[in-house]
Structure 1
Amino acid sequence: MLAVELFYESARNAGLLTAVTVAGGPINQTVHCAFRAPDETVLDGFALSRDYQLDYPAAWLTLAPGDTIEIAGSSYQVRDVRAIGDGSERRAFLSQL
């Protein structure tokens, strides 16, 4: 197991990660990931918008723009996926459906 996977596994065991279900194929895949929903200032500071993000080990999950996932009963669509650091970790940017 790589260091980043061990880190995520430890965080999952401590209850720090969120269960994410990816729809597709014959069965749904559920993994634990770091889900964030930070506020982002839009409209020149007149409004706030949520910028949903999901961090996960690249070896655990393969996401692409357009994929649909479910987190805590809410559906999200993947907008973009980027590598973090050395590429062993990914960050997906999401839109709530």
Structure 2
Amino acid sequence: MGLIERIYEAAANAGLLVSAEVAGRTVSVGFLCIDDNLLDGLVRSAAYTITYPLSLLPDLEAGHTVVIAGQTYQVRDVRAIGDGTERRADLTRL
């Protein structure tokens, strides 16, 4: 188990991660929902993102679905973070 996997395992044990179901598997991921005001505050927009070790979801790509807390999201984009052992996926709420 590499460093990033140990960090995510410790974060999961501390309750800092959420469970996500991807292709029938349940994994612990970091989940962010960032609200943003658009059009001078007339509209609110939310950006959904998960972070995870590459070894947990090596095949995750755009178009796949992720279920978090009963809500389904579609993956828009997956990018490497740092040395590539960690990934960030941008999601769209369905």
**TM more than 0.5:** yes
Q: Secondary structure at the match of 1:87?
A: coil
The equivalent residue for 1:56 is 52
Deviation at 1:44, TM superposition (A): 5.6
TM-score by length of 1: 0.89
Moved over 4 A (4+): none
| TM-score when normalising by structure 2 | 0.92
Q: Is 1:69 aligned to residue 66 of structure 2?
A: yes
- Give the corresponding residue for 2:5: 5
| Alpha-carbon distance, 1:39 to partner | 1.2
Percent of matched pairs sharing the same residue: 52
User: What stretches of structure 1 of length at least 5 have no aligned partner?
Assistant: none
Q: Matched residues in 1 for 2:54 and 2:36: separation?
A: 26
- In the alignment, does 2:89 pair up with 1:96? no
1:84 paired to 2:81 = yes
1:46 to partner: Cα distance: 3.6
Question: Which residues of 2 match residues 6-21 of structure 1 at below 5 A?
Answer: 6-21=6-21
> C-alpha displacement at 1:48, in angstroms?
2.0
Structure 1 residue 45, shift from structure 2 partner = 5.0
2:38 is the counterpart of 1:42:
yes
User: Which structure 2 segments of 5+ residues have no match?
Assistant: none
1:18-74, Cα deviation, whole Å (9 max, x unpaired): 000013xxxx11100000101133336542210000000001113100001100000
